[in-house]
């Protein structure tokens, strides 16, 4: 079974801190994604990556950056955390084919105080 | 930009009632379509998907969805819901074009009373 592992289940940070959210997948998937999930807004795409060292902006990239130095790892970075970035962050991965399903991690609930 | 609309924010049904959740998307080209479900406290998981062929697709747990290209719709149905179907349901669309990602609707919360 594919495993997508997010390093933290719950995280509490202060405004202005730099925050790293880590995601690792063990199935050699080419594609990796970061979404945030908020009540009433569904899942919104922040960034995605189709290959190592490659990244594409999603719908809401402002205030975030990403890093994909190795195929299995896709990191989301909040350069200077703000309270409106309090959210559930979901990492997902998928093989190269467009019609394949996403495999999701269990999520990181980030609270920015 | 592509978008996905789910018509209902919250649906409340009694057990054995029939279910239909609406989903419309805006994209003129070929798409791959998905319904995901998130049970309370669990990961998102795939219910069913469509990418070509028969527009009526069957998924897990008795769910099915019909792709109507002329209406840009992919509605989810189940003839008789159970209490265990209580969950949040997300419709998602992936344009069949390089460099695009899966776009999700805002979700529909289904509450089934026993």
pLDDT tens digits, A51-106: 898 999 998 999 999 999 999 999 999 999 999 999 999 999 988 766 678 899 99
Given a cut of 80, whether residue B53 has pLDDT beyond it is yes
**For residue B58, what are its two tokens?**
């069957």
Mean pLDDT across B74-101: 92
Instruction: Characterize A75-105 residue by residue with b for buried, 16 or more Cβ atoms within 10 angstroms of its Cβ, and e for exposed.
Output: bbebeebeeebbbebbbbbbeeebebbbbbb
Q: Are the Cβ atoms of B44 and A48 closer than 8 angstroms? A: no
Q: Are the Cβ atoms of A98 and B34 closer than 8 angstroms? A: no
pLDDT at A98: 62
A98 Cα to chain B: minimum distance (Å): 7
Q: What percent of chain A has pLDDT over 90?
A: 76
Mean pLDDT across B62-84: 96
- Mutation target vs B (from A56, A98, A107; most B CBs, 10 A cutoff): A98
Q: Which residue among A50, A90, A98 places its CB closest to the CB of B32?
A: A98
Given a cut of 90, whether residue A25 has pLDDT beyond it is yes
Q: Which residue among A31, A40, A104 places its CB closest to the CB of B43?
A: A104
Q: Are the Cβ atoms of A42 and B49 closer than 8 angstroms? A: no
Q: Are the Cβ atoms of B44 and A99 closer than 8 angstroms? A: no
CA distance to A14, A52, B54, B99, per residue, from A19 (Å)? 9, 21, 46, 27
Beta strands in B39-107 (DSSP E): 44-50, 56-58, 64-68, 73-78, 87-95, 103-104
Cα B113 to Cα B8: distance, rounded to the nearest angstrom: 18
Given a cut of 70, whether residue A35 has pLDDT beyond it is yes
Mean pLDDT across B34-48: 91
């Amino acid at each position: 079974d594919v495993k997508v592992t997010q390093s933290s289940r719950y995280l509490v940070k202060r405004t202005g801190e730099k925050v790293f959210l880590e995601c690792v997948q063990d199935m050699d998937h080419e594609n990796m994604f970061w979404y945030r999930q908020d009540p009433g807004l569904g899942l919104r795409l922040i960034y995605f990556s189709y290959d190592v060292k490659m990244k594409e902006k999603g719908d809401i990239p402002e205030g975030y950056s990403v890093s994909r130095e190795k195929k299995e790892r896709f990191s989301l970075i909040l350069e200077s955390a703000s309270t409106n970035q309090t959210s559930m962050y979901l990492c997902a991965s998928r093989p190269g084919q467009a019609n394949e399903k996403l495999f999701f991690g269990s999520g990181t609930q980030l609270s920015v105080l | 930009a592509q978008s996905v609309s789910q018509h209902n924010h919250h649906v409340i049904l009694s057990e054995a009632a029939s279910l239909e959740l609406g989903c419309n998307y805006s994209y003129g080209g070929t798409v791959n379509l998905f319904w995901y479900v998130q049970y309370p406290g669990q990961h998102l998981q795939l219910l069913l998907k469509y990418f070509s062929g028969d527009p009526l697709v069957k998924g897990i747990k008795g769910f099915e969805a019909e792709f109507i290209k002329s209406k840009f719709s992919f509605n989810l149905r189940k003839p008789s819901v159970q209490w265990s179907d209580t969950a949040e349901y997300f419709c998602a669309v992936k344009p069949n074009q390089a460099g695009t990602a899966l776009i999700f609707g805002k979700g529909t919360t289904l509450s089934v009373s026993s």
